């Protein structure tokens, strides 16, 4: 059999690469001669660079940047052999970089993400894939824009710092000093969030609380993004505020649309394209995917169902293994798996996380034993 192993990470326990390796160990015990293709997956969030470099040839680049609160750190991104760059904004502007007690979306900035973009341009990259999940920011991409040379002025002609508290002070945008290489570069943004920039479904109201914003700050940030949207419309001629995904990553989606002319695409599908998944499916007998928890939300752009939708087009069956599997009989029309299997049974969550590697290996072994049984038993 030719089997593709294409899991997402099991968050809190295994990276997607570790998950694929565990699956392979379990399968080999049942079918030692199976042709296994390990294809760690991601959706544009944390782990995307690692997953893509595991499947494609390339190299890691380390660059000093400013984290969301202005502290110098080292961030990494990937450059593929075709010269394109793979950047995770969470490396520079991610919420996990800041302890909960220090999170402040009024001051947090995406400046470091802009520094990563500049580094990729300096390396000669003219195609940049940018994953924008897991941000600590709510600055509309103002900090990113500042880093690439855009200048924001208040009504007194003072230059503003790119952060959430400056949004409502923007009176004028000057792009005359923006790096000219930006216009020479294709930006593809991996984003599964469809929220607009402002309003009840916008960046501040929906995502502000998890970034440490109080109710008062949420109102200030939302008002600031409305002002920002007006100024962006004057600059671009487009009402970006209502574009799907403009509110992603605290409005970074809007900033990338405005200043980098970027396309926002579903993260999983972009990763599948980069890794040549459709070509790998030819002559494949089975795909095994998975993630930490399989439930109704799995159908909303998550890796396992994205993998299954692609495989279904070539009539390749897909089995999903989850850390836990919520009963999915009511949503089978939304999911595209032929079967689901959980790695956990009667055990604590702590035990499952600590032993995820072995549990996933054993689950993959059970799946293959069932498939092996099915090839020998005809049930009528």
Residue 19 near residue 360 (C-beta atoms within 8 A): yes
Judge residue 153's burial from the number of C-beta atoms within 10 Å of its C-beta, 0-12 exposed, 13-18 middle, 19 or more buried.
middle
Residue 257 near residue 240 (C-beta atoms within 8 A): yes
Please give the structure tokens belonging to residue 103. Answer: 């999170």
Judge residue 263's burial from the number of C-beta atoms within 10 Å of its C-beta, 0-12 exposed, 13-18 middle, 19 or more buried.
middle
pLDDT number for residue 327: 63
User: Of 2, 1, 17, 97, nearest to 290 (Cα)?
Assistant: 17
pLDDT number for residue 379: 40
What values do phi and psi take at 109, rounded to 5?
-135, 150
CA 254 to chain centre: 16
Phi-psi region of 71 (alpha: psi -120 to 50; beta: other; left: phi over 0): beta
Domains along the chain with CATH numbers: 2-41+276-374 (3.40.50.10350), 48-267 (3.90.1510.10)
pLDDT number for residue 361: 92
Using CA atoms, how far apart are residues 221 and 12, in angstroms rounded to an integer?
A: 31
Using CA atoms, how far apart are residues 85 and 89, in angstroms rounded to an integer?
A: 12
pLDDT number for residue 338: 80
pLDDT number for residue 49: 95
pLDDT number for residue 380: 42
pLDDT number for residue 293: 84
Q: Is 293 helix (H, G, I), strand (E, B) or coil?
A: strand
Using CA atoms, how far apart are residues 238 and 19, in angstroms rounded to an integer?
A: 43
pLDDT number for residue 323: 87
Crossing angle for the helix pair 248-260 and 215-236, nearest 10 degrees?
10
User: Of 302, 117, 104, 93, nearest to 211 (Cα)?
Assistant: 104
Judge residue 277's burial from the number of C-beta atoms within 10 Å of its C-beta, 0-12 exposed, 13-18 middle, 19 or more buried.
buried
- Name the β-bridge partners of 151: 174
CA atoms within 13 A on the CB side of 48: 30
Low-confidence ranges of the chain (pLDDT < 50): 329-331, 377, 379-380
Using CA atoms, how far apart are residues 273 and 351, in angstroms rounded to an integer?
A: 36
Burial readout 294-317 (b: 16 or more C-beta within 10 A, e: otherwise): bbeebbebbbbbbbbbbbbeeebb
pLDDT number for residue 294: 84
pLDDT tens profile 218-263: 999 999 999 999 999 998 888 999 999 999 999 999 999 999 999 9
pLDDT tens profile 162-185: 999 999 999 999 999 999 999 999
- Name the β-bridge partners of 127: 186
């Amino acid at each position: 059999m030719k089997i593709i192993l294409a899991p997402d990470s099991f968050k809190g326990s295994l990276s997607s690469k570790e998950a694929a390796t565990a699956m392979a160990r379990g399968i080999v015990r049942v079918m030692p001669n199976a042709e296994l293709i390990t294809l760690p997956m991601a959706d544009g969030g944390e782990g995307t660079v690692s997953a893509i470099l595991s499947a494609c040839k390339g190299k890691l680049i380390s660059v000093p940047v400013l984290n969301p609160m202005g502290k110098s750190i080292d961030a990494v991104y990937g450059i593929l052999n075709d010269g394109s760059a793979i950047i995770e904004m969470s490396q520079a502007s991610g919420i996990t970089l800041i302890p909960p007690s220090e999170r402040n979306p009024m001051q947090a900035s995406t400046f470091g993400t802009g520094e990563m973009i500049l580094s990729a341009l300096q390396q000669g990259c003219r195609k940049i894939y940018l994953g924008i999940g897991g941000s600590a920011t709510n600055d509309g991409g103002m900090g990113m824009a500042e880093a690439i040379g855009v200048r924001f002025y208040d009504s007194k002609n003072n230059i503003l710092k790119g952060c959430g508290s400056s949004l409502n002070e923007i009176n004028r945008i000057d792009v005359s000093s923006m790096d000219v290489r930006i216009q020479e570069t294709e930006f593809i943004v991996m984003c599964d969030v469809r929220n607009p920039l402002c309003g009840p479904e916008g960046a501040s109201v929906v995502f502000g609380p998890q970034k440490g914003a109080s109710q008062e700050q949420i109102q200030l940030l939302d008002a600031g993004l409305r002002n920002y949207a007006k100024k962006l419309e004057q600059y671009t001629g487009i009402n970006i505020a209502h574009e799907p995904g403009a509110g992603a990553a605290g409005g970074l989606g809007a900033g990338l649309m405005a200043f980098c002319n970027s396309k926002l695409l579903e993260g999983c599908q972009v990763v599948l394209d980069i890794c040549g998944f459709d070509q790998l499916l030819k002559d494949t007998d089975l795909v095994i995917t998975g993630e930490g928890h399989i439930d109704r939300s799995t159908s909303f752009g998550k890796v396992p169902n994205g993998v299954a939708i692609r495989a279904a087009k070539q009539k390749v069956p897909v089995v999903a293994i989850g850390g836990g599997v919520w009963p999915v009989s009511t949503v089978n029309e939304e999911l595209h798996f032929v079967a689901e299997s959980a790695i956990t049974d009667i055990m604590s969550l702590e035990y499952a996380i600590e032993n995820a590697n072995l549990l996933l290996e054993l689950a993959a072994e059970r799946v293959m034993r069932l498939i092996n049984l099915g090839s020998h038993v005809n049930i009528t």
